[in-house]
Every structure is written in C-alpha cells, then in structure tokens.
Amino acid sequence: MSAPERQGSFWCEQGWVNGAVVAGVRLEIDAAGTVTGAETGIPARSGDCLLAGVTFPAASNAHSHAFHRVLRGRTHAAGPGSFWTWREHMYETAGALTPELYEQLATAVFTEMVVTGWTSVAEFHYVHHQPDGSAYAQEHAMERALARAAVAAGIRLTLLDTCYLAGGFDAPLSAAQLRFGDRDGAAWLQRLASLRAAFAAEFDPAQVSVGAALHSVRGVPEAELELISRMLPADLPLHIHLSEQPAENDACREATGLTPALLLAKHGLVTRRLSAVHATHLSEEDMTALGNAGATVVMCPSTEADLADGIGPAAELHAAGARIALGTDQHAVVDPWLEMRALEHGERLRSGERGRFAPADLHAAVSRAGAESQGRRAPGLAAGDTCDLMSVDPGTIRTAGSDPGQLALTATAADVHTVVVGGRILARHGRHTVLGDPAALLSAAVAALDASRRSPTPAATTEDP
C-alpha cells in the first residue's frame, strides 16, 4: 500500500496555539509538508481535511534504542535487580540482531511510535558490526536497515551514530560489546563521514538524517574526547548518556577527578548542540554548566523508573537554562502523554509540590525541544512549523471533563485518534494507514528474533540483501 497523499489544508476543531487551546484552527500546508499559514477562530472551508477533538504538535522522541523494545515484560524476574543486571539481558538481545531482523523489528517499533503520536525519533544506534566486531559485507548494513524501517513507518529518523570504544575506564570492550566498537575515535569519525555521504545519496534528509553520539564517558576514553571535540563537524547534533548511574559518576571521578559533565566541559563538548540523556545524578556545578550552555537534557521518565535509575533534577535544570526534552529509551512505554505526565509526577514526588511543569512546558518538552535536539524544525500549528500533528479525543473515559489545555495530565496514547506527518495522515485510531496494526508487527518481529536465537546456525552472520 502506498503512502497517503499530502493534504493541502487542515481544519482543527480545537488546536494548541501559543501555549493554549483555541477553537477553529485552519492550517495551509505546502508541498514540503510545512505549515505556510495559520488562522484561528474560523470555520472550515471546502476541501479542508477535518481534525476533530483537540490537535497538538506531534511528539519528537529524543532518545530511542529500537531493539530494547524486545525486553518489555521480559526482564522482571523474581528477586532484586538493577540497571546493571538488566544490561546483561540487553547484551543478549543485541547479540542476536542481524540487518534483516533489525529492519523488521525497527519497522514495528517505529510504527508503534507513529500511531501513539511520535513523528520523529533520535535513534541512539551502536549495533554497527557483526557480533565478532567484523564489518558486514555491505557497508553500513545495520544503519541502512534502520533507515529503511523509518521510511516504511513514515517516521522522521535522526540516526545518532554512536562512538563506543571502551567497556569502562581503562577497560577494553567485552565480547558482548565488540559489535558496538570502532578501532579508535579517528576510525569512528571516518565511518561517520562515510555514513553521512551514503545517507545523503540514498534518503530524503527531511525523512532520514545523521547525528552523532558518544555512548558515555566510560565508553569513550578521555584522549578520544579531545580528538572528537576538535574534529566532529559543527553541524551535527551530539548526544551522550550522562550520569545515569551513581557508579558512573564515581568511576569518572576516580579516573579523571571530574564528574562526567565537567569532563565533557573540559573538552569543549558542553554546548548548545549537546543533548545529555538521563542526567539523573548531577552536582550543582554540573547543572550550572549544562544550563549556561543551553544544552538539552533528555529525560526518559518511564525508562528511568523501570530501571530504578532515580528521578533527575528536571526543574532545577530547566531553571538553570537547560532545555528539557523527552524520550522513550528502552520502550517500557511508548506513549508521549505518559512521558509528559511522568516528568511532572516525578517532580511532585521529589519535591512535594504540584505544578512544577505547566502543561505548556510539558508540550514544549515533548515536541519542540525533542525536535531541536535532532536538529529538526519543530512540529506545530504555526506558520513555519512542520505539519506533524496528533489529535486527541477529549471525551474518552480518561479525558472526559478535562480542561482541553490540561490534557497532558489526563490523556494517553489510546486517546490519540489521528496522527499527521508532513501533512499526511499516517495513523487513525491506533492503526497505521499503510502498515496496519503495530501489535501484529511487533509480535511477528519478536517471534522472528526468538526463533533466530534457537537456530543452530547463528543468524547474526547473515548479510544484508
């Protein structure tokens, strides 16, 4: 089935404009899927595509590991556990991936994102090579698989090609990490440049683009940070896992005398283009550095709860000048509304106060800040915005009676009835208009991965077609 046609205009029964819900919002859309005109308080015109309920800017997922979706509901064994025990399950899943299996799985995961309201995603990607660390016969086989998956689902992909060189401070990559690594920082930069050239030739940059990531300060030795700071192209967004665990902070201080954030600052990497993911365990000096730089901090509240990471100082970071964005990370939940709510609820639990983030702050975090962290134009209902929208039913069992401007505190993805990407309707009532039911796609993809693990011949050596 081909992609639906782009609409020339939309009329929203109610729409989120300048931080408030207003009635009768009419949008004009150009051939690139950008809003060229917006009017409010007017009736629909002949030919307008009608969006009932309340229409919001679509969500921009600022942190994803698509293959982690396999772990949902599978890592909660009896007895105590932590991020570090969960990580062993993650390595096992990573070891079973092939380009074919990853394309199938990522297509399903990206489809799940689209139908729930996420229309762009920063994919923090480090499964580059075969399990033994050797290259695939086709260059960038895994990366191409993810790009094809994004095109199939219709989501905007920023592939964050990740530098992952060490298993810890003064520790080599483990056997399970070999497929993540490059020889050194220079080799990663060379492969990154090759990937950018390949993707520019193959994919529409409005659909698929390339960014950069450092896995963590424990995964990239300090000597390589200095090189990367000098040589990384200035036009690329840069993401990093930062201070997710106290153990990471302790190890960094022992090895360098600095916290992870201050180590990055030492090498000129804490700038406006930086997105620090998690940032759960920060010092006052860390928060000041990130805030003064206007960096983005990507909170993943449902993942941070699922992994028992802790609750990060989101309000303090916001007050210091950092932008707060949201991501789904390991996909314990794929729901922008629950991530918004979890951000505010975490702040309430941590502070004993309500209203730490107003609804306008939550929508900015889940849409505009996430798009900016990817180097993308923000979605929205104003001229110049990308026409990526999600429309919500205000009369469901969850939303009935809500002030439309406070739906961020009551709605879930189940209340999203229409999702628009670049002026095209790609989801209605939880089904993708091209690929159908994401649950069926996910079930098939997980079953295929499970079958490959049982295969007597390791599927991980399969080449990309």
Q: Residue 208: in which H helix or E strand, if any?
A: strand 208-214
Residues 273-303: pLDDT tens digits?
999 999 999 999 999 999 999 999 999 999 9
Per-residue confidence (pLDDT) for residue 328, from 0 to 100: 98
- The Cα 28–Cα 230 span in angstroms is 43
Nearest to 297 by CA among 348, 239, 250, 350: 239
Residue 389 sits at the vertex; the CA angle it makes with 391 and 45, to the nearest 5 degrees, is 75
Per-residue confidence (pLDDT) for residue 80, from 0 to 100: 72
pLDDT band at 77 (very low <50, low <70, confident <90, very high): low
pLDDT band at 98 (very low <50, low <70, confident <90, very high): very high
Q: Which residue has the tokens 């994004």?
A: 150
Neighbours of 145 (CB within 10 A): 25
In order of 82, 115, 186, 192, 252, the CA distances from 170 in angstroms are 23, 43, 19, 24, 11
Q: Which residue has the tokens 């290259």?
A: 135
Average pLDDT over residues 142-169: 98
- The Cα 274–Cα 367 span in angstroms is 17
Per-residue confidence (pLDDT) for residue 459, from 0 to 100: 41
Residue 140 a catalytic site member: no
Nearest to 211 by CA among 117, 121, 110, 136: 121
For residue 317, pLDDT over 80 is answered with yes
For residue 30, pLDDT over 70 is answered with yes
For residue 329, pLDDT over 90 is answered with yes
Query: Two tokens at 167?
Result: 């298993």
Per-residue confidence (pLDDT) for residue 49, from 0 to 100: 98
Long-range residue pairs from 80-85, CB within 8 A, at least 24 positions apart, any chain = 81/308, 82/307, 82/308, 83/244, 83/245, 83/307, 83/308, 83/309, 84/245, 84/247
Write the Ramachandran bin of 157: left for phi over 0, alpha for psi from -120 to 50, otherwise beta: beta
Contact between 362 and 348 under an 8 Å Cβ cutoff? The reply is no
More confident residue, 463 or 1: 1
The active-site residue, picked from 182, 329, 335, 393, is 329
Dihedral sign, CA of 427, 428, 433, 436? positive
Residues 372-423: pLDDT tens digits?
999 999 999 999 999 999 999 999 999 999 999 999 999 999 999 999 999 9
For residue 84, pLDDT over 80 is answered with no
- The Cα 350–Cα 357 span in angstroms is 13
In order of 69, 105, 239, the CA distances from 280 in angstroms are 22, 29, 15
For residue 74, pLDDT over 90 is answered with no
Residue 329 a catalytic site member: yes
Query: Pairing between strand 59-64 and 118-125?
Result: parallel
Cβ contacts of 108 within 8 Å, gap of 6 or more:
69, 438, 441, 442, 444, 445
Q: Which residue has the tokens 């990206």?
A: 110
Neighbours of 345 (CB within 10 A): 18
Per-residue confidence (pLDDT) for residue 348, from 0 to 100: 98
What is the residue-wise DSSP string for 402-414?
A: --GGGGGGT--GG
For residue 81, pLDDT over 90 is answered with no
For residue 461, pLDDT over 90 is answered with no
For residue 465, pLDDT over 50 is answered with no
Mean pLDDT of the chain: 95
Q: Residue 23: in which H helix or E strand, if any?
A: strand 20-29
DSSP annotation of 436 reads: B
Contact between 275 and 62 under an 8 Å Cβ cutoff? The reply is yes
Per-residue confidence (pLDDT) for residue 458, from 0 to 100: 45
DSSP annotation of 73 reads: T
Q: Which of 126-135, 210-219, 233-242, 449-458 has the lowest mean pLDDT?
A: 449-458
The active-site residue, picked from 63, 68, 128, 278, is 278
pLDDT band at 463 (very low <50, low <70, confident <90, very high): very low
**For residue 101, how far is the Cα from the chain centroid?**
20
- The Cα 167–Cα 220 span in angstroms is 9
